[in-house]
Amino acid sequence: MAEQKFKTPIKTLAVIGLGYVGLPTAAIFASRGLNVVGIDTNAGVVEMINRGEIHIVEPDLGKIVQDAVSKGALRAATTPEAADAFIIAVPTPFTDDHKPDLGYLMAAAESLAPVLKAGDLIVVESTVPVGATEAVSVRLAALCPKLSFPHDTEAPDIHIAHSPERVLPGRVIAELAKNDRVIGGLTPECGKRTAALYAIAVEGECLLTTAATAELVKLSENAYRDVNIAFANELSVIADKLGIDAWEAIRLANHHPRVNILQPGPGVGGHCIAVDPWFIVDSAPDDSDLIQAARKVNDAKPHHLAGKIIKAAAEMASPVIACLGLAYKADIDDLRQSPAITVVQDLAQAGHRVLAVEPHIDALPPELDSLDGVTLATLDDALNGAEIIVLLVDHKAFKEVDRDRLAGKPIFDARGVWR
Ligand code: SAJ
């Protein structure tokens, strides 16, 4: 547990947004003795959770939710209810021109106005551009004129902080408890109260700072990873051109005691690393050349890969292409910003027939379903029916494919796992 100096009177918690971060967060706090209500505008999700079921793929989450619901510690609803503390964990996507879209965040904050009372704590967990936590405070102050807010006074009725989530999809349950948390209060007291809340569930350290610093810290973490993956992806394009195996070169370079190059792949996907660096760019467009370049390199990677496959396919008589994996990374069901989808789109738009394999979904996403020539297939059917095999995601089932089944066919292994 975090430092014992933090003590909290909080007994009831409302978590706004029951997605990849909100649902595990709600469930963990419920399992540690808080009375938790999860709020989501999607009535189907709310019904599922109230039955003790979950709507996302995340190891160990199902059992924790089931236990918490069966004990009455966790339930879900579609509109906010009074609570001692509120955690906002809604998506913060970007617009088509890479500007932060704070629509869900502001709607979530506004939905709290009718139930807020003096003494309440609001924590923004969603990843946000610098200044957004303060903007939440300003907006709520306009909606709740009888309450005071921390952008305005050191001793407010409502305390507000940013405590960005840092959990890795696929390892959320362990990382929620173990990771250190950066907590940025709009006032120091807001930070302390937030640390006291997280001390209930977090074994890692709670590190206090300002809200703006916490906002930049979170964005920096994901931009750092994006820049480092871009380096690996750029190297792999260079290695391709020079006829060198990029994974072999990186493996050997990483034997240097101060070198640790990440893995190249089909590109960078997900709702975080492919999105968050743009929030920094939006705040400082003239001073973020490296961050912008990394985004460009990573966004170009799926097109580079598709170009190579199209070139090979041109040498064959209208080959069927098997694309293994549509998720943005291994062993999850999340297709958001997935580079695998871009690759399949490029292939289909070039007129190729694609057998797409994704064990975690039952139907193609609309952006692929609308294309001619793309079919969702089983791994077996794709391996039997295709003349070219492309590995886009290193799902466990694909890593275990019998190599004999690949023999004699052009293989594009974008993850370097069949080498
Ligand atoms: N990828 C590579 N090569 C690598 C590592 C990753 O191509 O060596 C690709 C993945 O295939 C995927 C993308 O990058 O398409 C991102 O995957 P990831 O596993 O690096 O990260 P996310 O997006 O699943 O989660 C990140 C994490 N941030 C950091 O590691 C700095 C997580 O801790 C954050 O909580 C999460 O973003 C978030 O919600 O912000």
Domains of the chain: 2-204 (3.40.50.720), 243-413 (3.40.50.720)
Pairing of strands 388-391, 12-16: unpaired
Question: Is any ligand 1 atom within 6 A of the Cβ of residue 262?
Answer: yes
Closest CA relative to residue 180, chosen from 2, 371, 377, 383: 2
> What is the distance between the alpha carbons of residues 151 and 158, in angstroms, rounded to a whole number?
10
DSSP 100: B
Digitized pLDDT (tens) for each residue of the chain, 419 residues in all = 444 455 788 999 999 999 999 999 999 999 999 999 999 999 999 999 999 999 988 899 999 999 999 999 999 999 999 999 999 999 999 999 999 999 999 999 999 999 999 999 999 999 999 999 999 999 999 999 999 999 999 999 999 999 999 999 989 999 999 999 999 999 999 999 999 999 999 999 999 999 999 999 999 999 999 999 999 999 999 999 999 999 999 999 999 999 999 999 999 999 999 999 999 999 999 999 999 999 999 999 999 999 999 999 999 999 999 999 999 999 988 999 999 999 999 999 999 999 999 999 999 999 999 999 999 999 999 999 999 999 999 999 999 999 999 999 999 999 999 98
pTM: 0.94
CA 315 to chain centre: 39
Tokens of 281: 């760019």
Q: Considering only CA atoms, which residue is closest to atom 29 of ligand 1?
A: 222
Specify whether the CB–CB gap between 195 and 8 falls below 8 A. no
H-run or E-run covering 321? strand 320-324
Ligand 1 center–CA 271 separation, angstroms:
9
Secondary structure of residue 263 in the 3-state scheme: coil
Ligand 1 center–CA 273 separation, angstroms:
6
Question: Is any ligand 1 atom within 6 A of the Cβ of residue 273?
Answer: yes
> What is the distance between the alpha carbons of residues 136 and 335, in angstroms, rounded to a whole number?
29
Specify whether the CB–CB gap between 299 and 372 falls below 8 A. no
Ligand 1 center–CA 73 separation, angstroms:
32
Is 272 among the catalytic positions? yes
Tokens of 407: 């023999």
Q: How many CB atoms lie within 10 A of CB 104?
A: 17
Which residues touch 47 (CB under 8 Å, ≥6 apart)?
none
Question: Is any ligand 1 atom within 6 A of the Cβ of residue 167?
Answer: yes
Question: Is any ligand 1 atom within 6 A of the Cβ of residue 165?
Answer: yes
Residue with tokens 């916490």: 214
CA 351 to chain centre: 32
Closest CA relative to residue 360, chosen from 315, 393, 401: 393
